[in-house]
Amino acid sequence: MNHLSVPKTYKLFIGGAFPRSESGRVYRVHSARGIFLANAALASRKDARDAVVSARAAFAGWAGATGYNRGQILYRIAELLEGRRAQFVAEIQDATGVTTVEASAEVDEAINRWIWYAGWTDKYAQVAGNANPVAGPYFNISVPEPMGVVAIAAPQRSALLGLVSVIAPALVSGNTVVVVASEMHPLSAISFAEILATSDVPKGVVNILTGSLSEIAPWLAGHADVNALDLTGAGVIDWVDLEITAAQTLKRVLRPDSGTGSAVPALGRITALTETKTVWHSKSLS
């Protein structure tokens, strides 16, 4: 007996749930050959605000977890991603038109990159922090801490690897994120959200919006409760205006990677989204 296919409904990912856009809008997503793949939610200003509220509520718990615990949760996400490898290979092939070998290589690199960042959760502070020499009977210690809520423009030409490359480093130190996925290739981002929803990552730590980057990004850049703005994938739009808007609320801004949004893995991508706290403590004279 033939069975009916069940088309997948791609929604937003906010606060651990999958709501439709409050505006009710969607847009059509096509394959590299122009074939209709699915409707994706077209996020609105209200959706962006809801995502920031969710990220802020999750921040204290995620930042307060030990580096070891955050690392274990991130490792689990990599395990789940590997378990659904075939699905992501097929999605990337449909979306971008690459070969099976190329799509497989992208998924494998996404898994490897996620694990690489997971390994830094309980190590980056030892590398980025230090004990400072001072004159007097004091200890002076500098410690990196998460900034808070980070709004991210994911690389626009990548279906999965670019998304992983900007989310993972922000999570290492304890930040929570609101990510605007690739407008052209959004479907793998929502499939990745399904992995997050079934992992141990607390709800609200990662929020994924689909839709128009040029429409959503200005609201995130100007939002007073967003602490940093990662414009890695914003080279395709007028990102200078976003940087100017972000300056009005004193946000940390990461500029696009030469317009390509390559997001090469590096310790600097972790420390760029941290602040340094310096602590003085008197030495015992007894």
Query: What CATH number is attached to the domain comprising 72?
Result: 3.40.605.10
As given in the structure block, the two tokens for residue 274 are 């941290």
Q: What is the Cβ-side half-sphere exposure of residue 181, based on CA atoms within 13 angstroms?
A: 30
What's the pLDDT score for residue 28?
94
Domain that holds residue 183: 26-282
Q: Is the pTM of this model over 0.85?
A: yes
Tokens of 252: 């940390």
Whole-number pLDDT of residue 1: 66
Residue 3 lies in a domain: no
What's the confidence (pLDDT) of residue 7?
Answer: 74
Q: Does some domain include residue 275?
A: yes
Q: 21: which 2 tokens?
A: 């856009």
CA distances from 122 to 35, 128, 272 (A): 45, 12, 17
Task: Judge whether 6 lies within some domain.
Answer: no
**Domain presence at residue 42:** yes
pLDDT of residue 29: 95
Residue 264, domain member (yes or no): yes
Residue 134 is predicted with a pLDDT of 83
Whether residue 37 lies inside any domain: the answer is yes
Residue 125: per-residue pLDDT = 92
Q: Is 167 in a helix, a strand, or coil?
A: helix
29, two tokens: 């997503």
Question: What integer pLDDT is reported at residue 260 of this predicted model?
Answer: 42
How many other C-beta atoms lie within 10 A of the C-beta of residue 99?
9
> What is the per-residue pLDDT for 261?
45
Residue 14 resides in a domain:
no
Domain count, the chain: 1
Sorted by sequence, the CB contacts under 8 Å of residue 51 that are 6+ apart come out as 12, 14, 15, 178, 207, 209
Cβ atoms of 178 and 149 within 8 Å: the answer is yes
Cβ contacts of residue 157 below 8 Å, gap of 6+?
182, 184, 185, 260, 261
pLDDT of 285 reads 57
pLDDT along the chain (286 residues), means of 10: 76 97 94 93 97 98 97 97 97 95 97 97 91 82 94 94 97 98 96 96 98 97 98 92 96 78 81 91 71
Domain-located, residue 224: yes
